[in-house]
Amino acid sequence: MSLFRTLKSLNLKMVLSPGEHLHPGKNFSRLRASYDALQTTADKINFFMQELPAAASVGIPTLNNDELLSLREKTRTHLQQNSTATGRELGLGYLAQTAFNDPREWMVANSEVLSFRDIEETSKVKAHSGATAFIFFQCRTSRSGKPLELHAMFVVEPDDASDGEPWHLEVIYNLSAIEGVDPAIIEEIFALPEPSIRVVSEPRSFIEKLLTSDEVGSGFGPKDVVSVGPIGAGTNALGDIHAKLYGWDREGEIPWANKAVLEFKLGKAQHERTLANKALVEMSHTRGSAVSTGNHNAGSSCLLTPLRMMFGEAPGINGTLHANMKTAINQATKVYLTDKNDVTVAAFLKDKTLMKLVTKSVVEDKLTFLLDQETLKKGKDGDIGYHTMYCKHSELHPDEDAQYLYKEAAYLVINLI
């Protein structure tokens, strides 16, 4: 019998829902009465902007399947019918990735330089063969060894050398949205593949203003960047970035230690799908802009993105972080584990014996153990808690009137598209 809980049975009872974090102390009964008295769409938009900022971002992850499919059809149609307009010109920024059929649509929706036509262009990318893909589960710990954050890094190693060298894709923090970060360091980090990195623009359309606000901003989740680059020292991978930004003095350890690795065998079509995403990010780089997804409000975007790149809409994808972990483990062909804190991505790709080949249940136990630590359940200094963001993002507020209002905000966004 497993010593740890399964990924399906994390203890989340004391973890706040996003609504509880964003709108503490609100009288939802009074707010519902005020909302129900409103007659016009304009008044309803203003209500949410003033009383419950970012309410739509709380409501959208809780949509049922039919509602979600309807939203995705609307976003795709809007992008297709305005195929030469950039995403930000269309006012669809800050929507969660689950509101789109394809991760590339999500990237375009938040872009100043990409349009749907670029999705069509990158869809023409071809591969000579399949690939081996990896998801590295990385853990940042305190000096006492307690988990502070978990992260997923996606790596693709083409089977045919003519398809290029191994590369990574990550959804990471937008460093320029973090106070106190030295711009010179940011420029140095992103000098290789990314000519510039911008703070995502402030919300412009009514849709965007329902999804975020100046008041909550990154409080709902970090404004993020989709990072693509080579494997090896000096890249823009999160571990390299962390070491440069904050310094690192723990001898024999790396900042984001690789604790588990999942291996996947990709066919030619799957490989081409991952290359199309890579090509879109690189296209944005050549136009002078990093790729951002607005607020990091998709719930485990670092894991959800590679899963959708590889498997589309396979059952189990789009859920919470722990549900997506379970899906990823089930889809993997091999799984590896280590208790060491010094195994780099590049070293593992050269020598897989650096980690132990184990069963899927052993990896699931380890990830559950890491994820179930108290250090991940509460936010620090008013920030949103890790579990609130990634493990309860699809849960509504326990108050029924709050649930009603969050759903109404989501429906308002759908009707505005």
* 85-142 tens-digit pLDDT: 999 899 998 898 889 999 999 999 989 899 999 999 999 999 999 999 999 999 888 7
CA dihedral 155, 156, 157, 160 (to 10 degrees): -170
Exposure letters 370-386 (e unless 16+ CB within 10 A, then b): bbbbeebbebeeeebbb
Cα separation, 32 vs 370, in Å, equals: 39
Quick one: pLDDT at residue 3?
32
Quick one: pLDDT at residue 219?
52
Quick one: pLDDT at residue 194?
45
Cα separation, 340 vs 242, in Å, equals: 19
Whether 7 and 381 have beta carbons less than 8 Å apart is answered as no
Cα separation, 70 vs 176, in Å, equals: 34
Residue 147: beta bridge partners? 141
Ordered alpha helix ranges (H), 82-213: 87-90, 103-109, 116-122, 183-189, 206-211
Quick one: pLDDT at residue 348?
94
Residue 152: beta bridge partners? 137
Quick one: pLDDT at residue 221?
57
Quick one: pLDDT at residue 125?
97
**pLDDT one digit per residue (tens) for the chain, 417 residues:** 333 334 556 777 778 888 898 899 999 999 999 999 999 999 999 999 999 999 998 999 889 889 999 999 999 999 999 999 999 899 998 898 889 999 999 999 989 899 999 999 999 999 999 999 999 999 888 777 788 888 999 999 999 999 999 999 988 876 666 666 676 666 665 543 444 555 456 788 999 999 987 654 445 656 778 888 888 655 556 766 666 666 666 666 677 889 999 999 999 999 999 999 999 999 988 887 878 777 766 667 889 999 999 998 766 677 788 889 999 999 999 999 999 988 989 999 999 999 999 999 999 999 988 888 888 877 666 667 777 777 777 778 899 999 999 999 999 999 999
The set of residues, in sequence order, having a beta carbon less than 8 Å from that of 42 and lying 6+ positions away, is: none
Q: Tokens 């269309």 appear where?
A: 90
Cα separation, 365 vs 134, in Å, equals: 19
Beta strands across the sheet bearing 291-295: 291-295, 223-230, 167-173, 147-158, 131-141, 257-266, 334-337, 356-358
Ordered alpha helix ranges (H), 52-92: 55-59, 65-81, 87-90
